[in-house]
Amino acid sequence: MTDANKSQLGKGTVYDSPYDPGLLFPLSRVENRASLGLSSDLPFHGEDLWTCYELSWLDLQGKPCVGIAYFRVPANSPFMIESKSFKLYLNSLNHKNFENIKVLTKTLVDDLSKAAGMSVSVSVCDVRDALTLNGANEKRFMCVDDLPVSGFEYQPNANLLSLDKAVGGIHEGFLCSHLLRSNCPVTGQPDWGTVFVRYRGQKINHESLLRYIISFRQCQDFHEHCVEQIFIDILEKCACESLSVYARYTRRGGLDINPYRATLDWSASASDIRTSRQ
């Protein structure tokens, strides 16, 4: 049996590593099944269904993409895949460019099938296709993720924010993005979230807001600090009369942290919503 002690379990880890299918660590099913008195003639069939809520990659222009992935590993495959190695492999895709979801899916199928020793089924869906918002009025938020932007930075830069000067007057805007990613300052593990921005004031340039949110991709800070920085930067750079910033992060260890910050003229209570990745 492949020795799990030789895997990455319990060892220090670099999470922002380059794409590397060699990170996948196969574990033979034979020894555990032998202890149950099972041979190759199994009395059952089935599969191991894995769900990844934090799949992310780059398009050819360097713009981040996010999705939810479903992996089906046949129960009769000679190998299962050790979970931490699976996570590290998926994280190694974070900064790899793919032409489209079809090319990404083929890469996942090829790499995972090689590790499992049998064909693995992979399905990737856009996170917005599975999005569910349960709070009052949350469906008013317009997602900016599909805007045709380029020239990305991956460290927070408030100077990326700008106003839409071609549009005058005072606006009340409801914008959101699923492309918020920061990193734990202690462990380096990536944190994934959806950010909701509501404001009243001059119209914010949507492309600039998207570039700004993406700029947190390699930032190392706590959830709460990231949201407070986003709030202050938008408030100051865009001269908002009123503003709220609400981030819904994916959970880790059974806990999700969802910081909400708003100007004093708006509610101090966060709405009770949940996204598809939570």
Q: Which residue in 16, 126, 184, 256 is the catalytic one? A: 184
Which DSSP symbol is given to 218?
A: T
Please return the burial class of 155, using the count of CB atoms within 10 Å of its CB with bins 0-12, 13-18 and 19+.
Answer: exposed
Alpha carbons 105 and 102: distance in angstroms, whole number: 5
3-state secondary structure string, 94-140?
A: CCCECCCHHHHHHHHHHHHHHHHCCCCEEEEEEHHHHCCCCCCCHHH
Amino acid at 266: W
Catalytic residue among 111, 145, 191, 233: 191
Taking phi over 0 as left and psi of -120 to 50 as alpha, with beta for the rest, 201 belongs to left
| Residues near 114 by beta carbon (within 8 Å), at least 6 away in sequence | 21, 24
Closest C-alpha among 29, 40, 32, 38 to residue 79: 29
In the residue annotation, 240 being an active-site residue is answered as: no
Q: Which residues are catalytic?
A: 184, 191
